[in-house]
Amino acid sequence: MGITRRDLLKLAGVGALGAIAFNGCRIPDRELRVESPVALPEDQVTGRDNWYATLCVQCGAGCGVLARVVEGRARKIEGNPDHPLNEGKTCARGQAAVQALYHPDRLLSPLLHGQAVDWETAMAELAGQIQQNRGRVLLATNPLRGHNALVAQTFIQSIGGTLLAYEPLEDTVLRTAVKGLFGQDTLPDYDIARARTVFSFGAGWLETWGSPVRWGRAYGAFRQGRPGQRGLFFHAEPRFSLTAANADLWLPVRPGMEGVLALAVAYVLVERGMAHPPAAAQLTGGQGLGALTAYQPERVAAAVGIPAERIREVAEVFGSQRPSLALVGGSALAHTNGLFNARAVLSLNALVDNIGREGGIRFNPPPPAGWTGVPPAPFARWRQALEEMRAGRVGLLIVRGANLIYGLPVDRGEVEEALTQVPFRVVIGPIADDMAPYGDLVLPELEALEAWGTDWPEPGPGYQTVTFQQPVVRPFRDGKAFGDILLEAGKAAGLTLPWQSMREAVQDGARRLFALRRGAVRAADEEGFFMGVLQRGGWWDPQATGQGRFTGERLPATPPAPQFAGDAQEFPFHLVPFTPLGIHDGRGAHLPWLQGLPDGTTTVAWQTWVEVNPDTARRLGLLEGEWVEVISPRGSLRALVYVHPAIPPEVVAIPVGFGHQGMGRWANGRGANVFSILAPLTDQETGAFAWAATRVRLRRTGQRQRIPKFEGVVRPVQLEERPIILVTKEA
């Protein structure tokens, strides 16, 4: 470790200069004894640790975590056991927050036209630009919630401009469907733990979809938390994902046909008299089975790729083993008929009468007053924003966490052209990502573990929850928090903003919660309350639940057929992109723990692979580790073949998140970017990016290498004559 006991005492005496004065940092004298030279590992004990509750920002779920701080350094992330969302648990991505904090390639100082400058110069420049460009500012961010959202909105309102959030795999379709069917602006919670049957369509709820740690908690209880009652799980997805691998039955539905499959299930429910009558009447316009004729399992089996008897089998279970729950997400929504798929699947919930009930869909209330969110804008809106930039209507572009050049399915040149029409561009981030080269001004942002903030998780746990984010260590690099940059520059530009700093904004938020006089933190005064929410990690009120009802209308008599980019003759394969467990949609690509995390089904790490069915591979003469060119109507990329025993013959799958230009040593130039070959199709109704609607062909390159994967690192111990994984049919 290079730290001797004497050093340790010195350090401990000084204490860590965290945002909060440490106490009890000295090792009590009774614990100091002479180290023996034959010390065993079990004898090793060093300094005291401090734990701080804060927020995890490694994905959009918004879990509460505890950071272990020793000697002024954040060492380890654990789940916050008090937090209602994740109840003390974390995922692999959450653990990696400490690697983001201490990443060796973090920006060291602001850059103005590529030259290092001090913060004073940088902020003066930014303030000047804000003053000059009132009314012509575009603030492009990642989806925001809590005080980051509030500060960004306040800033944009006072200056006159546009705030748009960007996420490569946006959730616009799901939000639109939830709003249309339940009249809700916030995403609902799913009571998986108490359901008896879960049927999910494309939603990778055990991987990266929604609130994976929360769903993971629920999954354990769903399977083995109720003596004598084990939940059954069916999963329909064109790709065999980790979630599919955990299902009791996996239905390899054809891409874009998820909605038709769901309505074939609905047909069986109505036919067998299992459907909740009012909902059935609503969805069929009072016509009953006649309105669903087009979805009879025998009629649609070939089109959806699932045998009719299998559809009937799962529908019977889904209708009889209640409470049952239908989920939709992932590639099921990323088609030109995405909204139809979403509505069809979510309507199943009404047919099994689980709306607002135990084991069903539970509605989340809107967050407390003062908490807002900026959900991602649909791709169609971003195309419009590019137009505005190209037309010179944007004078100042401020980018934070919106990697447009990387993720938008339009040619790089087109985005570049739009960006260069903007007179001044600011890029804010902890590390120089793909957007940094386009920044006239690049500002180093603090990492989450160094900054103040709040969040309300979405989907939440079914009641009002606010998570507080506090700095757990002194800033490791000379950066500023995103909110502080806006507030300080805005103030210098003469804007009147209600807060001086993010800390003040967060404290103001705590004051609002204190005034409610309810919830999980009580205190005699505001100061005590603020300390209380920081210590607990947040505030929640299990009494403040959400309300909602099913307002679905008649289903279309004939389903809208999904459209695909690329002719089926010329491009024989459906390309299904997916978010890998570790690097997610690319936001974790700079962290070695996540790059080095073996994929959930292929165990590949560090490189972009393409999953090919064994028969397809034989037909094309492809072997594992072969470099192939994956060619779409829009472009091509190179990937390593992984012969995947469980992918349908007409589908190939490639992980997203690789192929960055920038983002530090572990991400830069590593692998290939799938977004660069996806066609810019959109969902017909919402304008959301249909990222699973591109067809491709494969071309051999003749080059081959060993594939970096975990499989085979440990010699196989699962032998025919001596299995290590034992299976029983009885729960």
Partner 1 sequence: MVVDMDRCTGCQACVVACQAENNIPINTETIFLQRRVIEWIWVERYWEGEYPHVRARYIPLLCQQCDNAPCEPVCPVYATYHNDQGLNVQVYNRCVGTRYCANNCPYHARFFNFWQPVWPETLRHHLNPDVTVRWRGIMEKCTFCIQRIRRVQREAARDGRTLQDGDITPACAQACPTDALVFGDILDPQSRVAQLAKNKRAYKVIEDLGTGPNVIYLKKVDPYAPAADHDHKH
> Of 469-508, which residues contact partner 1 (CB under 8 A)?
476
CB of 96 to partner 1, least distance (A): 7
Nearer to partner 1, 133 or 595 (CB): 595
726 binding partner 1? (CB under 8 A): yes
Measured between alpha carbons, how far is 77 from 55 in angstroms, rounded to an integer?
Answer: 10
Measured between alpha carbons, how far is 245 from 272 in angstroms, rounded to an integer?
Answer: 30
710 binding partner 1? (CB under 8 A): yes
669 binding partner 1? (CB under 8 A): no
CB of 635 to partner 1, least distance (A): 25
412 binding partner 1? (CB under 8 A): no
Per CB under 8 A, contacts with partner 1 among 245-264 are 245-246, 248-250, 252
Q: By CB under 8 A, which span of 277-285, 383-391, 518-526, 646-654 interacts with partner 1? A: 646-654
1 binding partner 1? (CB under 8 A): yes
Measured between alpha carbons, how far is 350 from 181 in angstroms, rounded to an integer?
Answer: 10
CB of 400 to partner 1, least distance (A): 23
Distance of alpha carbon 490 from its chain centroid, rounded? Answer: 30
Tell me the three state secondary structure of residue 52. Answer: strand
Is 672 in contact with 659 (CB distance < 8 Å)?
Answer: yes
Tell me the three state secondary structure of residue 247. Answer: coil
729 binding partner 1? (CB under 8 A): yes
CB of 515 to partner 1, least distance (A): 35
CB of 429 to partner 1, least distance (A): 17
103 binding partner 1? (CB under 8 A): yes
Angle at 577 between CA 572 and CA 582, to 5 degrees: 150
34 binding partner 1? (CB under 8 A): no
Per CB under 8 A, contacts with partner 1 among 689-708 are 706, 708
CB of 472 to partner 1, least distance (A): 12
The single residue among 92, 303, 520, 523 that binds partner 1, judged by CB under 8 A, is 92
Which pair of tokens denotes residue 675? 């977004």
712 binding partner 1? (CB under 8 A): yes
Tell me the three state secondary structure of residue 300. Answer: helix
Measured between alpha carbons, how far is 11 from 14 in angstroms, rounded to an integer?
Answer: 5
**Amino acid letter at 32?**
L
- Cα-only R_g, the chain: 26
CB of 579 to partner 1, least distance (A): 13
Kindly give, in sequence order, each residue whose CB lies less than 8 Å from that of residue 695, ignoring residues fewer than 6 positions away: 564, 565, 566, 567, 568, 571, 572, 573, 574, 575, 632, 633
Nearer to partner 1, 219 or 295 (CB): 219
Nearer to partner 1, 211 or 470 (CB): 211
Sign of CA dihedral 342, 346, 351, 352: positive
614 binding partner 1? (CB under 8 A): yes
Per CB under 8 A, contacts with partner 1 among 190-209 are 206-207
217 binding partner 1? (CB under 8 A): yes
Measured between alpha carbons, how far is 662 from 659 in angstroms, rounded to an integer?
Answer: 9
Per CB under 8 A, contacts with partner 1 among 67-86 are 70-71, 73-79, 86
Is 13 in contact with 6 (CB distance < 8 Å)?
Answer: no
622 binding partner 1? (CB under 8 A): no
Measured between alpha carbons, how far is 342 from 348 in angstroms, rounded to an integer?
Answer: 10
Q: By CB under 8 A, which span of 428-436, 498-506, 548-556, 587-595 interacts with partner 1? A: 587-595
384 binding partner 1? (CB under 8 A): no
Is 336 in contact with 683 (CB distance < 8 Å)?
Answer: yes
Measured between alpha carbons, how far is 88 from 81 in angstroms, rounded to an integer?
Answer: 3
Sign of CA dihedral 506, 511, 515, 518: positive
CB of 250 to partner 1, least distance (A): 8
CB of 45 to partner 1, least distance (A): 6
329 binding partner 1? (CB under 8 A): no
722 binding partner 1? (CB under 8 A): yes
CB of 644 to partner 1, least distance (A): 9
Per CB under 8 A, contacts with partner 1 among 436-455 are none
The footprint of partner 1 on this chain (CB under 8 A) covers a number of residues equal to: 103
CB of 252 to partner 1, least distance (A): 6
Per CB under 8 A, contacts with partner 1 among 51-70 are 70
CB of 189 to partner 1, least distance (A): 16
647 binding partner 1? (CB under 8 A): yes
Is 168 in contact with 407 (CB distance < 8 Å)?
Answer: yes
Q: By CB under 8 A, which span of 159-167, 295-303, 331-339, 594-602 interacts with partner 1? A: 594-602
659 binding partner 1? (CB under 8 A): no
Which pair of tokens denotes residue 227? 């003596």
HSE-up of 40 (CA within 13 Å, CB side)?
1
Q: At what angle do helices 308-320 and 258-271 cross, to 10 degrees?
A: 60
Sign of CA dihedral 605, 606, 611, 616: negative
Kindly give, in sequence order, each residue whose CB lies less than 8 Å from that of residue 674, ignoring residues fewer than 6 positions away: 575, 577, 608, 637, 654, 655, 656, 658, 659
The single residue among 129, 470, 613, 676 that binds partner 1, judged by CB under 8 A, is 613
The single residue among 98, 268, 339, 639 that binds partner 1, judged by CB under 8 A, is 98
**Amino acid letter at 696?**
V
Which pair of tokens denotes residue 229? 């009652």
Measured between alpha carbons, how far is 731 from 729 in angstroms, rounded to an integer?
Answer: 6
The single residue among 276, 335, 697, 709 that binds partner 1, judged by CB under 8 A, is 709
Per CB under 8 A, contacts with partner 1 among 14-33 are 31
Per CB under 8 A, contacts with partner 1 among 564-583 are 581
Which pair of tokens denotes residue 190? 């799913």
> 3-state secondary structure string, 71-118?
CCEEEEEEECCCCCCCCCCCCHHHHCHHHHHCCCCECCCCEECCEECC
The single residue among 454, 470, 607, 686 that binds partner 1, judged by CB under 8 A, is 607
